[in-house]
Amino acid sequence: MGHLAPLPALEAGQDNTMILNMGPQHPSTHGVLRVILEIDGENIVRIMPDIGFLHTGIEKTCEAKFYHQVVPLTDRIDYLCPLTNNLCYVLAVEKLLGLEIPPKAQWMRVLMNELTRINSHLVWLGTHAMDIGAMTVFLYCFREREDILRLFEAISGQRMMTSYFRIGGVALEPPLGFFDRVRDFANRFPSKIDQYENLLTGNPIWVMRTKGVAQISAEDAIALGASGPTLRGSGVDVDLRRDAPYSGYENFKFKVPVAKEGDVFARYMCRVQELRESIGIVKQALDGMPEGPIKADAPKVVLPDREKMKTQMEALIYHFKIVSEGFAVPEGEVYQAVESPRGEMGYYIVSDGTAKPYRVHMRSACLANMQTLPKMCEGRLLADVVAAIGSIDIVLGEIDR
Amino acid sequence: MALAPAITDLEQLKGHPAIAKLQSWNAASVEGAKFDRDEMTIYIERSAIREACSLLRSDPSCPFNYLSDVTAVDWYPSEPRFEVIYHLFSIAKKERVRLKVRLNGDSPVLESVTSVWPGANYFEREVFDLFGIRFNGHPYLRRLLMPEDWEGNPLRKDYPVEGYR
């Protein structure tokens, strides 16, 4: 973070170029991203993202918390897909513990995770389209997003920072009628995707602003560490849900949308197709939802039921111990990666055998994707920067952590 | 809760393609290995890290061509104090491997892998920023998240959680 002064590498511009500062309060930067541009007329000569304005030291904070206290912190990293972060963290801790998760909890996790992906893609689509000048799509996307947030509220009591996944399972049984509401949404939603596509996919203005814009080749995307739709938009067929299945994803059938062109339009198409695939996964999860417990049978790790706590002494003791002194996790280290809406979200957790993590590191998909920005923009027009930033779908909370 | 014990005997793990490849190139480059919770960790000699990465990246049989992550752990006050950790992924074989380099606290310096993967740029800057580990050959080694004039490296264990007031 460079204190709002031009970074020295860019100070020595040529006589015919100028330095333009974009952000950190520019609406198209989706938060507090600052981009320093060296421009020659309308053409970009160099571009340098400057990040760190939202750095809160979450990794350091995690080291001072018990394992179960970290879950709400992970919500706040990527505030558009909190459940994906919850999932990645709890999977990593469960791997450290060697904990078996009952099938119903796994399927609930897949269901909620895919709803989160839809939620995140809707915010991306709305804001991305608005950046480029299509206002209506934003209103439509937020209409459907509201439905999903209401579902989150019904199941966890929170609209955004749900913290619904817990180490060993999920927090609560879904309320009565919840699955019917989800099914109702899943039945309605495909026609809404058609609406968005009607507004954009064939729209000549949209096509002109996105096709052939901010291209990146597959080799460059891999070398720069891009992942998710940013990588798949360049023709690299990687999806961790299929390639390194976690939380029972191997039981679900879905296609991985890939586009070859590597431009803004290709990334747009990948994400819109993903919306359709996610709805398919949601329906499969609803149809095949197993019966059974939602928490693992591990009294030293999982909080007991409220009712048991009032009637059984062991449950009360376990509850008191977990809340007051946490639970020890065997020594070791794990790296768990999941496919977040933005790409490979990874948690690297080191345990020294105590009740607090020795080190928690979050591999942020956006941070790596951000590195593709110079490759996409240099040599192109100034107006394309906005389209490029929108197309890699950045969330600054996740980049800066 | 049944965890298999970790395998740390290098002889037993020789069959792993990454270890075999590295040992046939330079036996001294592999300091040790660990197989724990289905994850392979290879300890690399500090001066060999860049070449080891470029070798694994271009291995025709199992190319670990994708760099997922670079991070570090501070084991203060024990020595060697730092561990720098590289998570590699093979897009073709869908496999992961973890490389580790151990560094002493008095001179935490090693070679940058940005010449192998340009994408290591931000990750190494982050480690430099938060741990104070230097990467030789990095094109732009400056603080990434903290302000330029910040004192200290927040993720070191001797740095208080609440910061200096």
- The predicted structure's pLDDT at residue A113: 92
- The predicted structure's pLDDT at residue A2: 44
Residue of A75, A20, A51 whose CA lies nearest to A369: A51
For residues A239 and A232, the answer to whether their CB atoms sit within 8 Å is yes
Has residue A320 got a pLDDT over 50?
yes
B71 CB neighbours in chain A (<8 A) are 348, 361, 363
Distance from CA of B67 to the nearest CA of A (A): 6
A96 CB neighbours in chain B (<8 A) are 37
- The predicted structure's pLDDT at residue A12: 53
Per the CB < 8 Å rule, is A99 touching B119? no
The answer to whether A175 faces chain B, any CB pair under 8 Å, is: no
pLDDT tens, A224-282? Answer: 989 999 999 998 989 998 888 888 898 899 999 999 888 999 999 999 999 999 999 99
- Average pLDDT of every residue of chain A: 88
pTM: 0.90
Sign of torsion over alpha carbons B6, B10, B11, B13? positive
Considering only the beta carbons, identify the residue of A3, A99, A348 that sits closest to B71: A348
pLDDT, mean of residues A44-70:
89
Q: Residue A70 — pLDDT band, cuts 50, 70, 90? A: very high
pLDDT, mean of residues A332-353:
91
Per the CB < 8 Å rule, is A60 touching B2? no
Considering only the beta carbons, identify the residue of A9, A350, A363 that sits closest to B68: A363
Distance from CA of A197 to the nearest CA of B (A): 31
Angle between helices A264-287 and A178-200 (to 10 degrees): 160
Per the CB < 8 Å rule, is B147 touching A348? no
Distance from CA of A217 to the nearest CA of B (A): 14
Cα–Cα distance, B127 to B133 (Å, whole number):
6
Burial class for B12, CB neighbours closer than 10 Å (0-12, 13-18, 19+): exposed
Name residue, tokens 């996919």.
Answer: A201
Q: What are the boundaries of each domain within chain A?
A: 8-50, 58-400
Has residue A192 got a pLDDT over 70?
yes
- The predicted structure's pLDDT at residue A38: 86
Per the CB < 8 Å rule, is A335 touching B154? no
Q: Give the mutation candidate from B7, B8, B64, B69 for the A interface (greatest A CB count, under 10 A).
A: B69
Q: Residue A5 — pLDDT band, cuts 50, 70, 90? A: very low
pLDDT tens, A366-384? Answer: 899 988 988 888 888 888 8
- Name the DSSP letter for residue B16: S
pLDDT tens, A221-232? Answer: 999 989 999 999
Phi, psi angles (nearest 5°) of residue A353: 90, 0
pLDDT tens, A127-183? Answer: 899 888 888 899 999 999 999 999 999 998 888 888 899 898 898 889 999 999 999
Looking at domain A58-400, does it have CATH number 1.10.645.10?
Answer: yes
For residues A357 and B80, the answer to whether their CB atoms sit within 8 Å is no
Per the CB < 8 Å rule, is A348 touching B148? no
Considering only the beta carbons, identify the residue of A60, A222, A400 that sits closest to B65: A222
Distance from CA of A332 to the nearest CA of B (A): 8
For residues A116 and A82, the answer to whether their CB atoms sit within 8 Å is yes
- The predicted structure's pLDDT at residue B85: 93
Identify residue B42 by its one-letter amino acid code: I
Sign of torsion over alpha carbons B109, A356, A165, A298? positive
Q: Report residues of chain B scoring pLDDT below 70.
A: 1-2, 165
The answer to whether A298 faces chain B, any CB pair under 8 Å, is: yes
- The predicted structure's pLDDT at residue B10: 76
CA neighbours closer than 13 Å in the CB half-sphere of residue B100: 19
Q: Residue A4 — pLDDT band, cuts 50, 70, 90? A: very low
- The predicted structure's pLDDT at residue A76: 87
Cα–Cα distance, B16 to A132 (Å, whole number):
49
- The predicted structure's pLDDT at residue A275: 92
Q: What are the boundaries of each domain within chain B?
A: 17-136
Per the CB < 8 Å rule, is A3 touching B147? yes
Q: Give the mutation candidate from A53, A55, A394 for the B interface (greatest B CB count, under 10 A).
A: A55
pLDDT, mean of residues A392-397:
86
- The predicted structure's pLDDT at residue A14: 56
Per the CB < 8 Å rule, is B66 touching A333? no
Identify residue A12 by its one-letter amino acid code: A
Cα–Cα distance, B83 to B102 (Å, whole number):
5
Q: How far is CA A255 from CA A118, A242, A280, B88, in A?
A: 15, 9, 10, 25
A334: which strand partners?
Answer: A349
* DSSP notation for A157-208: S-SS----EETTEESSPPPTTHHHHHHHHHHHHHHHHHHHHHHHTT-HHHHH
Q: What is the CATH number of domain B17-136?
A: 3.30.460.80
- The predicted structure's pLDDT at residue A280: 93
The answer to whether A179 faces chain B, any CB pair under 8 Å, is: no
Phi, psi angles (nearest 5°) of residue A308: -60, -35
pLDDT tens, B23-63? Answer: 888 878 888 888 888 888 999 988 889 988 888 888 887 78
* DSSP notation for A109-139: HHHHHHHHHHHHHHHHHHHHHHHHT-HHHHH
Per the CB < 8 Å rule, is A400 touching B87? no
The answer to whether A224 faces chain B, any CB pair under 8 Å, is: yes
